Amino acid sequence: MQLTDVLIVIAEVSFVLMVSPLLTGIIGKAKAWMQCRQGPSVLQPYRDLWKLMRKATVASREASWLFFVIPYVCLGAMVCLAVMVPVFNAGPSGGVGDMVATIYVLGLFRFMMVLGGLEGGSPFGGMGSSREMMISAIVEPTLLLSIFSVAAISGTTDLSSISRFFAALGPKGLSPTLFLASAAIFISLLAENSRVPFDNPATHLELTMVHEGMLLEYSGRELAMMEMASYVRLTMFMVILSNVFFPWGIALGTGAGELLVGVASISLKLLLLSVSVAVVESVMAKMRLFRLPNLLTVSFTLSLLAVMSYYIL
Amino acid sequence: MSPAALPSLMLSLPLLGAVLAVLLRSERSRVYSYLCSAASAVAAAIWSVQVLLEGTASLVSDAPSVWGEYAIRLDPLGALVLLITALTFACVAMYALFSREGVTARSALLFNCFVLSILLAMVADHVLLLMIAWEAMSLTSFLGAWGAREDEDTIAGWRYLAITHFGAALVIAALAYLAVSSGEVRLSEMRGLSALIGPGASAAVVIMLFLGFGSKLGLLPFHIWMPDLYSRSSSTVTALLSTAASNVAVLVLVRVTFSCVGVEEQYALSLTVMGLAALTALWASWQALVQRDGARVLAFSSMENMGLILLTMGAAMLFRAYGAAEPAAFALMAALFHLINHTVFKALLLMGAGTVRRAAGEWDLERLGGLARGLPGLSAVFLIGTLSVAALPPFNGFVSEWAMFKALMHAEPIADPLVRIALPLAIAVMALCTAIAATAYLRLYGLTFLGRPRSAGAERPRPLERSELFPLLPLALLCILLGVASFPLLEELAAAVSPLVGAAGLKVVEGSSINFLHQGGLDPLGLSALLGFGMLVAFLIVRATGRRKVERVDTWDCGTPLDRRTQYTPTGFAQPLLRVFQKVYRPQIEVREEPRPSEYIRAVRFEQRIPEPFVDHLYKPLTAGAIALAMRVKRMQSGSIQAYLTYIMVTLVVLLVALR
Amino acid sequence: MIEALLLVPLFTALLCGLARSERTIYVLSAAGSTVTALVAFPCCYQAFSGPPLHRGPWYLDPLSALFVLVIVVITLLVSVYSVQYLQHDRREGEVNVKDLRYYHVLLHLFALCMLLVVVVDSLGLMWIAVEGTTLISAFLVGFYKKGEAIEASWKYLIICSVGITLALLGIVLLYASSMAALGEGADTLDWSALRAVADQLDPALVKVAFIFIVVGLGTKAGLAPMHTWLPDAHSQSPTPISALLSAVLLNCAMYGVLRVHILAQAAVPGFSSSLLTFFGLLSVAIATAFLLTSRDLKRFLAFSSVEHMGIIALGFGIGGPLAVLGALFHVVAHSLTKTLMFFGAGNVIQRYRTREMREIKGVGRTMPATASLLVLGGAAIAGSPPFAIFIGELLITAGALASGEYLVAGLFIALMAIIFAAMTYRVLGMVSGRPQEGVPAGELGALRLMPMLVLAAAIIVLGVLLPSALGDALGSVAELFEVII
Amino acid sequence: MGQLVRSFAFQSLMLAAIAAVLAHYTGSEHIYVVAGLTLVVKGLVIPRFLIYSMDRLKVRREIEPLVGIPASLLISGGLVIVAYYITEPLISSAETVTRNCLAVSLAVVLIGLFMMISRRKAMTQMVGLLMMENGLFLGIISTTYGMPLIVEIGIFFDVLMAVLIMGIFAYRINQTFETLDTTFMRRLRG
């Protein structure tokens, strides 16, 4: 692993860290426009983070030592994920862990966040945690199956190799398997990042909230870290989606030109994905909690179909 | 030093311990007796290391037996499992001593006997010796678990005894058949008997073995004894039962299936095994989610892990059947690696659970909570165990489960597309199990250690002595160690299992990462380093903003003061998934209107019972039928001497007429 | 030598009859049985190692030697155990000194008859001795002169006499079948002589003869469906006698069957063995049903005796080195284990004053030593390693598999599993829980635990190792069945 | 009841006669001894003993049997046929004199057993057993011209003892249950 690779990886990580709040901002802005509102500035997330970082921490009396460790773990896991996943360069970064491993890193994040929700023993925390676990219980198989289908096509689960494979294959690499899998992963993206129709990040209404409920006891810099971590998680999902299924334009070498193209392409894809998320959020309503499993099952079935279609067709 | 020294030491020390436990009645004698078993564990560990270095060791005792000479044998595969198991033994022995769970002469005696039988079963090469050790294991574990000798304990223990004995009967029949048909009494002498006894017979033998050993692993439908026994017996026994006993079972299963019988061309058999294992794992994870008693959660978690291991083994058989030696070897390696990891974290969790029970005097999740503040050390250690069993990086459970997933992803060598589908299905099942089980573990940890105490016992837990935590620490370290630096173990495992499936030396480690056939690798060390690095980054960023003071206030309560009732209960926590999988659980929910405390408040009583379909629809009808039949037969003993004489006459005449 | 073996019990009986005080009776009986054992061992050793001792009417070959050993050992333990058992009855005022004397006289005459059964050569004399055991033990069964006891002994007397009569007819036919071979007026019923010409016996007669004998002696050996007397007699007789009945007497009857089986195998290969297999399986199956349902402790153990007799018959029926060795081993193992169980039951019953297993709770709390021995014995009798009985059952299963009788093996294993469940359920149920009030705690005396300890040690040792002496002995016995081990 | 015993005595006398005839025919003298023993033991001693104990136990008449008289006659006839059917292949090997004796003896044994089954009183069961023994003896002397003498004597002795002991127990039964009807002794079951 040469110096350039290290530099590229660092660049990727910092890129992700920089961009993630922006994406959330963009989604908010896009939604506002579609609802003919002015909406907050796309930089609002940065401002929130900055404000939170400077505030003092108010913690529950019931909270234990774990409460203060969790934010670091979550943010750390996300940074680790940013390293594992190739962002704009399908370089050597994949060596650390393959696509299956990324699922587990996401799992670590979720596990810790849910434990945090249980700290303090507030009813909201418990509610958010239990609902989150219900969603994830079905999302995880979906993700793994989609990965399996992709791995079956490309013959590997190493992310950068997958990107290389599809990038080299170009548009003729598109197969029904791929579409089904990507659809499944898109739904899981909405579910995992607690967007409408699974969750409404905008409200603190207890009937609807999942993600906010878990963060309710956090404040100050801990809250900032958790929020940041969830921003990064959204970004990484988008990155995985785009780089695995439509990796065109990703830099295969380390030439400056390639890298620029890569950055541009990934930014474009991220923008598109955020807008599409915004579209989904504004055309759909939040679902009732116990109708969520149906949607999740749909995504699970999609991923299963993806695998089957590969073997049968 | 003679080659027989270590093994004989390993086997004789527990005997000595047992004798000490019987002879010396004093309190101190227990110390010596537990030290004996710990020492024998150390001897076992040294021996297995020696075997790993110098190759298979085999000893034949001249003690006369009914059937040839007894022989013990330790091959590298056994040595690897034995090594970890022995380390666990040492910790459990220490735990039994420090936790004062095993201070009675009876428990010390039984502990030593149990250890002896497990060690013997693990190294037994002689069929008869294996059977004896195996059954002695069930017997001693039952007696050890049968602590208070109340009637409920007896029923729980009796279920265990009866079911495992039924399993043992199957095992005995299968092994006896192998022995008589091959004319060999030593497992190591039996090689690829399927050629000799034909595919049908070998399939039958393998199925019998799976069911037989499965009865100890909790394979459906033999699992019904597990939860009750685990919740009723001391964690010393369950720690050994769920780790060491399972190891023996899987080890022997692997040896016999792949080496003694050999499973070429057994497609249907492999698929059957996979299906059974998958059902077991699913059922276990579902049940683990809704248990109120931590020990029961852990019981089902053992069942789930064993299900996953057997599932991977089944996949290995499938690969073998299609002649894909290397994927088979990889799958087998993954399964055994998970077995080893399971040993470590399950022992850790069970002993931690026992400690919690003693500290809080409660083990009903509905009455626990908030222990992390009272017992920070225990909560940290238990968290490590929980993360490992939930297969989260960077702990050992994660690595082995990753390997199992990877093992299931090699569908190419399988020709028949319909059979191929089995693998993605297996992956789906495994993923579902993992997710649900993770929820169950999270529920276990979160509602035990976090939140607000739900009972007085949890409010003020008895402070632990350092010695009580000490036995758990080595296991916690092992969890991390096997997670980040498992290459030597993996390479040894790969080398050990390759010959079983006829693969030339399997290569699993590439550079710094576990990588098989260049299909995407995992660098556990790098990954954990990255995690650490990420946390460091976060920490630095935060530090950069200068330190802020932390203010402690009440939990936000929307204005109504919270008490121990106003938080999510374990039942409530499991409710959403319960609703999702309602078809599986079929919970019997009863909501009763209670007298109103005031006319503004409605009081409602909510009761939920999760039925046990296997007990209600399988075991109860069976026993009832058997008893009814027996009652019919019983009428023949009517008490009338004339009737009795009639039996004689009829028998005589019928025989004479029929056989003249 | 053999005469001595027979005379010692006789004299013991006489002396017991003449003795005045309780003490002397106990001492005499214990001493007598000890001497018998001491006399027996060298004879048996000789028989095992060398050619059969054949002097006058006596004939001691390895098979008889094996049974002699069983008889003397069990009798010794029983006479030791009886001491404090009867003392307890004395304290309860159930028996007086006269009964005591009567008991010991009969006990030793009983032992004498059983020894006679196995050491005589002539099948006719053997028959007489068997009938003798019935007549003597009938009094022992009716020892407590209560209604049930008398009912039991009447049934025992009638059913067994009928069986024995049929057996005699069988012997007669056997004799008839030998006349052609031995020539007119050879005038001998000696087994050794018949064995010499076994292959020339008239097949048709031998068949019928064996049917009569297996039904007749099978009645006494407790093979279903002729076993009906057995639970009654076992449950009513004094517990040490129950032990003697089920551990030794049944074996003696089985011994007779085996003698004829050996001849029949030579004359009509396969006929007798298939009959034995049939009766064996039938006995095990029927015993299973009763083990699942019976509630009286001693009847429960009696049915387990039926089961084990069935297993032994099954083993000999299957034949082949493994199964025959297993059956022989099982004879020894069953005698030891069943005696242990009956001793334990005796302690429990005298302590709780009831035989209803549902009323016996918490033995673990009242009499811990007995309880642990009971649990061990229960596990052993249910056929779990590392106890002797398991070895026998395993070898028989292996033998069945080796001779390709998979159906038999499967049935056998299934029944064994059920029996294990039933057995452990009952025993554990008695040991666990809390005793109802009014049951005093504490053991009933060292002399009642000592024999049990000996037996427990023996079955564990036999379960793990096979002492080479016993191994050779069993081997030399097995040679009689034309199997070389 | 007494008639039953008398018929048994008569049967024994017949048996003794057959034995004598056989002894004369074969000229083997120890069958004479057997004949004598039969005459004495079974023809005189045992019937006497039975009558005596019946007087002591005040057993006059057999209450009606479990199986009615005509039915028992039919069954007995059937048993005879069965006996012939069974022994048919065996008789070929025997000699002319004893051609039917084996079948008859087997029939007597079976009928004796059936009598024990079909009657209630303890005494009747004893008599049934004795009848079985008679059948047995017929078998012995007819097929084998007598077993070794020692065995024969032993058997006689045993029979005598058996009868005595059964008498004792019958006495005890009568004391305990105030009846000799064995169908009342059904406390031990299951």
Q: pLDDT by residue (tens digit) across D8-19?
A: 999 999 989 988
Contacts of residue B619 in chain C, CB cutoff 8 Å? none
Radius of gyration of chain B, Cα coordinates, nearest whole angstrom: 27
- What pLDDT is attached to residue B59? 87
Packing angle, helices B325-360 and B294-321, rounded to 10: 170
State the amino acid at position B38 in one-letter form: A
B451/A62 touch (CB, cutoff 8 Å), yes or no: yes
State the amino acid at position B426 in one-letter form: A
Tell me if A146 sits within 8 A of A184, measured CB to CB.
Answer: yes
Q: Please state, in angstroms and rounded to a whole number, the distance separating the CA atoms of residues A74 and A69.
A: 9
Among B624-633, C476-485, D122-131, which is the least confidently predicted range? C476-485
H or E segment at B239? helix B235-240
C185/D190 touch (CB, cutoff 8 Å), yes or no: no
CA distance C341 to chain B (A): 18
- What pLDDT is attached to residue D96? 53
> Which percentage of chain B shows pLDDT scores above 70?
99
Query: What would the DSSP string read from start to end of C242-301?
Result: HHHIIIIIHHHHHHHHHHHHHHHHHHSTTHHHHHHHHHHHHHHHHHHHHHHH--BHHHHH
- What pLDDT is attached to residue B393? 86
pLDDT at A151 over 60: yes
The span from the first CA to the last CA of chain D, in angstroms, equals 33
Q: Please state, in angstroms and rounded to a whole number, the distance separating the CA atoms of residues A59 and A65.
A: 11
B660/D86 touch (CB, cutoff 8 Å), yes or no: yes
Interface test with C, best of B205, B644, B646, B649 (most C CBs within 10 A): B644
Residue numbers of B between 481 and 500 with CB closer than 8 Å to D: none
The residues near B284 (Cβ < 8 Å, ≥ 6 apart) are B218, B223, B300, B301, B303, B304, B307, B433, B437
| Chain D CA closest to residue B645 | D117
Q: Please state, in angstroms and rounded to a whole number, the distance separating the CA atoms of residues B317 and B327.
A: 10
Contacts of residue B646 in chain D, CB cutoff 8 Å? 117
Q: pLDDT by residue (tens digit) across A242-251?
A: 988 888 888 8
Instruction: Give the C-alpha distances (Å, rounded to integers) separating A301 from A132, A187, A297.
Output: 20, 12, 6
Q: pLDDT under 70 in chain C at which residues?
A: 183-187, 483-485
CA distance B475 to chain A (A): 21
Q: Please state, in angstroms and rounded to a whole number, the distance separating the CA atoms of residues C312 and C414.
A: 17
H or E segment at C325? helix C320-352
Are chains A and B touching, using the cut-off of 8 Å on CB pairs and a minimum of 3 such pairs? yes
D122/C154 touch (CB, cutoff 8 Å), yes or no: yes
Tell me if B132 sits within 8 A of B67, measured CB to CB.
Answer: no
SS3 B62: strand
Q: Please state, in angstroms and rounded to a whole number, the distance separating the CA atoms of residues B448 and B369.
A: 4
Q: Please state, in angstroms and rounded to a whole number, the distance separating the CA atoms of residues C425 and C291.
A: 10
Taking the Cβ of residue D183 and every Cβ of chain C, the question of whether any pair is shorter than 8 Å is answered with no
Q: How many other C-beta atoms can be found within 10 angstroms of the C-beta atom of residue B582?
A: 11
| Chain A CA closest to residue B581 | A293
Taking the Cβ of residue B554 and every Cβ of chain A, the question of whether any pair is shorter than 8 Å is answered with yes
Instruction: Give the C-alpha distances (Å, rounded to integers) separating C102 from A10, C7, C17, C107, C110.
Output: 103, 19, 7, 8, 12
Among A46-55, B312-321, C433-442, D84-93, which is the least confidently predicted range? D84-93
Q: How many other C-beta atoms can be found within 10 angstroms of the C-beta atom of residue A301?
A: 15
Give the helix ranges, DSSP H, for B291-324. 294-321
Contacts of residue B134 in chain C, CB cutoff 8 Å? 385
Nearest Cα to A70, choosing from A109, A101, A105? A109
- Compute the half-sphere exposure of residue C231: CA atoms within 13 Å on the CB side of its CA: 30
CA distance D90 to chain C (A): 6
Q: pLDDT by residue (tens digit) across B70-116?
A: 889 999 999 999 999 999 989 999 998 888 776 788 888 889 999 99
Distance of CA B603 to the CA centre of its chain: 43
* Beta bridge partners of residue C55, listed in sequence order: C58
- pLDDT confidence tier of residue B166, bands split at 50, 70 and 90: very high
Contacts of residue C397 in chain B, CB cutoff 8 Å? 172-173, 176
CA distance D147 to chain C (A): 7
B520/A98 touch (CB, cutoff 8 Å), yes or no: yes
Among A57-66, A88-97, A232-241, B341-350, which is the least confidently predicted range? A88-97
Q: What is the mean pLDDT of residues A1-5?
A: 75
State the amino acid at position C379 in one-letter form: A
- What pLDDT is attached to residue B58? 87
Give percent helix, percent strand, percent coil of chain C, each to the nearest 5.
80, 0, 20
Packing angle, helices C203-221 and C297-318, rounded to 10: 160
How do beta strands C58-60 and B601-609 pair?
A: unpaired
- pLDDT confidence tier of residue D92, bands split at 50, 70 and 90: low
Across all residues in chain A, what is the average pLDDT? 87
pLDDT at A190 over 70: yes
Q: What is the mean pLDDT of residues B633-647?
A: 90
Chains touching chain B at 3 or more Cβ pairs under 8 angstroms? Answer: A, C, D
Q: What is the mean pLDDT of residues A253-278?
A: 90
Number of CB pairs, chain C paired with chain D, less than 8 A apart: 125
- What pLDDT is attached to residue D91? 62
Question: What are C171's two structure tokens?
Answer: 């012997």
Radius of gyration of chain D, Cα coordinates, nearest whole angstrom: 18
Nearest Cα to C382, choosing from C411, C432, C425? C425
D132/C132 touch (CB, cutoff 8 Å), yes or no: no
- What pLDDT is attached to residue B172? 92
Taking the Cβ of residue B383 and every Cβ of chain A, the question of whether any pair is shorter than 8 Å is answered with yes
Interface test with C, best of D158, D166, D168, D182 (most C CBs within 10 A): D158
Contacts of residue D114 in chain B, CB cutoff 8 Å? 649
C231/D188 touch (CB, cutoff 8 Å), yes or no: yes
SS3 B621: helix
The residues on D that touch B, with CB distances below 8 Å, are 66, 82, 85-86, 88-89, 110, 113-114, 116-118, 120, 125, 182-183, 185-190
Tell me if C205 sits within 8 A of C174, measured CB to CB.
Answer: yes
- What pLDDT is attached to residue C485? 56
Q: Please state, in angstroms and rounded to a whole number, the distance separating the CA atoms of residues B212 and C168.
A: 48
A151/B520 touch (CB, cutoff 8 Å), yes or no: yes
Nearest Cα to B92, choosing from B473, B380, B351? B351
State the amino acid at position D101 in one-letter form: C
Q: pLDDT by residue (tens digit) across D31-71?
A: 888 888 888 888 888 899 888 888 887 776 666 778 888 88
Are chains D and A touching, using the cut-off of 8 Å on CB pairs and a minimum of 3 such pairs? no
Tell me if C430 sits within 8 A of C361, measured CB to CB.
Answer: yes
Q: Which of D86, D166, D188 has its CB closest to that of C151?
A: D188
Contacts of residue C432 in chain B, CB cutoff 8 Å? 146, 149-151, 153-154
Contacts of residue C125 in chain D, CB cutoff 8 Å? 150-151, 154
| Chain C CA closest to residue B68 | C466
Q: Please state, in angstroms and rounded to a whole number, the distance separating the CA atoms of residues B414 and B108.
A: 52
Radius of gyration of chain A, Cα coordinates, nearest whole angstrom: 19
Residue numbers of B between 42 and 81 with CB closer than 8 Å to C: 63-67
| Chain C CA closest to residue B62 | C465
SS3 C107: helix
- What pLDDT is attached to residue B159? 92
Q: What is the mean pLDDT of residues D86-105?
A: 71
* Beta bridge partners of residue C356, listed in sequence order: C296
C165/D133 touch (CB, cutoff 8 Å), yes or no: yes
Task: Label residues B487-520 b or e (16+ Cβ within 10 Å = b).
Answer: eebbbbbbbbbbbbbbbeebebbeeebbbbbebb
Number of helices and strands (H, E) in chain D?
7, 0
Q: Which of B180, B645, B647 has its CB closest to that of C401?
A: B180
Give the helix ranges, DSSP H, for D28-100. 29-37, 46-57, 69-91
CA distance A181 to chain B (A): 14
Taking the Cβ of residue D91 and every Cβ of chain C, the question of whether any pair is shorter than 8 Å is answered with no
Taking the Cβ of residue B53 and every Cβ of chain D, the question of whether any pair is shorter than 8 Å is answered with no
Q: How many other C-beta atoms can be found within 10 angstroms of the C-beta atom of residue B193?
A: 21
Nearest Cα to B277, choosing from B251, B243, B308? B308
B165/C420 touch (CB, cutoff 8 Å), yes or no: yes
A121/B451 touch (CB, cutoff 8 Å), yes or no: yes
Question: What ipTM score was computed for the predicted complex, to two decimals?
Answer: 0.90
Question: What are B9's two structure tokens?
Answer: 């030491």
Instruction: Give the C-alpha distances (Å, rounded to integers) separating B625 from A251, A267, C284, D64.
Output: 71, 70, 18, 41
The residues near C362 (Cβ < 8 Å, ≥ 6 apart) are C431, C432, C433, C434, C435, C439
* Beta bridge partners of residue C58, listed in sequence order: C55, C120
- Compute the half-sphere exposure of residue D160: CA atoms within 13 Å on the CB side of its CA: 15
Q: Please state, in angstroms and rounded to a whole number, the distance separating the CA atoms of residues C417 and C413.
A: 6
pLDDT at A153 over 90: no
CA distance D94 to chain B (A): 16
Q: How many other C-beta atoms can be found within 10 angstroms of the C-beta atom of residue B615?
A: 12
Nearest Cα to D139, choosing from D182, D172, D98? D98
The backbone torsions φ and ψ at residue B184, rounded to the nearest 5 degrees and listed phi first, read: -110, 145
Q: What is the mean pLDDT of residues A42-46?
A: 92
How do beta strands B588-598 and B601-609 pair?
A: antiparallel
SS3 C182: helix
Taking the Cβ of residue A119 and every Cβ of chain B, the question of whether any pair is shorter than 8 Å is answered with yes
| Chain C CA closest to residue D93 | C202
Q: Which of C148, C161, C172 has its CB closest to that of D187?
A: C148
> Which percentage of chain A shows pLDDT scores above 70?
96
SS3 B70: strand
The residues near D14 (Cβ < 8 Å, ≥ 6 apart) are none
More reliable by pLDDT, C55 or B650: B650
Q: Please state, in angstroms and rounded to a whole number, the distance separating the CA atoms of residues A99 and A154.
A: 12
Q: Please state, in angstroms and rounded to a whole number, the distance separating the CA atoms of residues C242 and C239.
A: 5
Nearest Cα to C435, choosing from C330, C358, C345, C376? C358
SS3 B81: helix
The backbone torsions φ and ψ at residue C95, rounded to the nearest 5 degrees and listed phi first, read: -130, 155
B630/C429 touch (CB, cutoff 8 Å), yes or no: no
Contacts of residue B647 in chain D, CB cutoff 8 Å? none
C229/B644 touch (CB, cutoff 8 Å), yes or no: yes
Q: How many other C-beta atoms can be found within 10 angstroms of the C-beta atom of residue C205?
A: 28
- What pLDDT is attached to residue B387? 95
Contacts of residue B150 in chain C, CB cutoff 8 Å? 432-433
Q: pLDDT by residue (tens digit) across A163-182?
A: 888 888 877 778 888 889 99
| Chain B CA closest to residue A64 | B373
